[in-house]
Chains A and B, each alone.
Chain A
């Protein structure tokens, strides 16, 4: 992007998407619209694993006037999706920074690093923590960063752990821990893992989709069963999440996912920019 003409450069934001939850793709679509308004790319499109356009639609997404396409995975960590699924479906070299030429059109497709690798993730997580619990004294508060953990999302646990270590090193909160949905330390054990009167939980996820909005509240004990999706509840006039909840004698605060932050659009643009160097 730095070196090429913006009108012939395009951005492709790749998200997971969902066949059951309308909120999964929303952050990618919202940031795409915001970036489009800035007119720094000739075209901006999204592609998804589980929604349309599917990644296999890549040949149909951009006009022939486009010369360079920057592919930014809107994923929290490198792993199965960024290394295997996205390069396979987009028929690209999956090494970060790799350029795949497209003989049909003469386009060059640049594979960029996932948003979760960007240095501002730490600040975004901290900001979410402060927003959800603005008046609690941090010295009497534990901060839990929740990642997916296990299985195919292999590096999400590492990513959450790194963020917790970075925030912990700042010394603001009484305790900072990374926890997981499916491997220990389990987020379901939050009350045992902490001993402060306040506990702030921030999901390290892109969207307020199935995991962060529907699964984790059940694991925390905020909801007794899986609720409707965030947008469905909103349409029914419900508020996002009521904070704090008083559970196990503590004040529990649960934040929304960081990927919906407007600043994420900047992160996507910067990941694309880094891919052009």
Chain B
């Protein structure tokens, strides 16, 4: 199974091995072995260069590890740390129970320091989403939300595949793997909301968060 940048080679009991897709060809001994699913929190925290990863679905998962997990519960726990909420969101999607929230609704709900995001213009949304959410260097999620209740596209700068749950946002080939779990984005994340605030305030960075 493929989920984001991770390959899961499942065993009969639902456990199995997790590793970075780029490390597929590495010999087991070249990778650091983990058997505790709780280690996933630490593995997901920093990228290869040691920089903090606030966005877990950013395409910068660190390399060089493999995780061998005893059972399905352990595998689920690990995946929920690498990609929080994404397994559940995909299950809801498959069951027809995933209801995306338009961006304008997300912004309209904000209070306090984020209330100002309601002032963001259409042009600013187009540029911000186009750069911040792009799969190449931004975020590997498939966007399911619309810009507003009228159904406007989130950004004209993103290719149509960015909104297609059958498309692998990593751009890697996956012929040899039977199943694929897309990382769905049913509602704009708080990082995007914080960036929207920075855009409205005319700052390049959102400062202290």
Task: Give chain A's interface residues, CB within 8 Å of chain B.
Answer: 18-22, 29, 33, 36, 45, 49-54, 56-57, 59-62, 80, 84-85, 88, 104, 152, 210, 229, 235
Contacts and interface: CB of A to CB of B under 8 A. Distances in A.
A62 B87 CA distance: 10
A18 B194 CA distance: 11
B53 to A, nearest CB: 8
A50 B41 contact: no
24 contacts: A19-B190, A19-B191, A20-B54, A21-B52, A22-B46, A33-B41, A52-B55, A52-B57, A52-B85, A53-B84, A54-B189, A56-B101, A56-B187, A57-B84, A57-B89, A60-B86, A60-B87, A60-B89, A60-B91, A60-B92, A61-B85, A84-B111, A85-B111, A210-B208
Contacts of B190: 19, 49-51, 54
A62 B80 CA distance: 11
Contacts of A56: 101, 187
Contact of B209 (A20, A59, A84, A88): A20
A88 B105 CA distance: 13
Interface residues of B, number: 34
B109 interface: yes
A104 B111 contact: no
Given A59-B92, A60-B92, A61-B85, A19 B50 contact: no
B14 interface: no
A56 B194 CA distance: 15
Contacts of A88: 109, 111
Contacts of B57: 52
B158 interface: no
Interface string B40-60: 010001100010101111000
Count chain B CB atoms within 10 A of each CB in A19, A29, A210 and give the residue with the most: A19
B150 interface: no
B137 interface: no
B7 to A, nearest CB: 21
The 6 A-B pairs at the shortest CB distance, nearest first, are namely A60-B88, A57-B85, A53-B84, A53-B85, A19-B209, A19-B54
Count chain B CB atoms within 10 A of each CB in A22, A36, A53 and give the residue with the most: A53
Nearest to A24: B209
B206 interface: yes
Given A20-B208, A21-B52, A152 B112 contact: yes
A18 B85 contact: no
Nearest to A37: B38
Contacts of B85: 52-54, 57, 60-61
A61 B80 CA distance: 9
Nearest to A46: B84
A235 B38 CA distance: 20
Count chain B CB atoms within 10 A of each CB in A33, A80, A104, A235 and give the residue with the most: A33
Contacts of B45: 22
A18 B80 CA distance: 19
B97 interface: yes
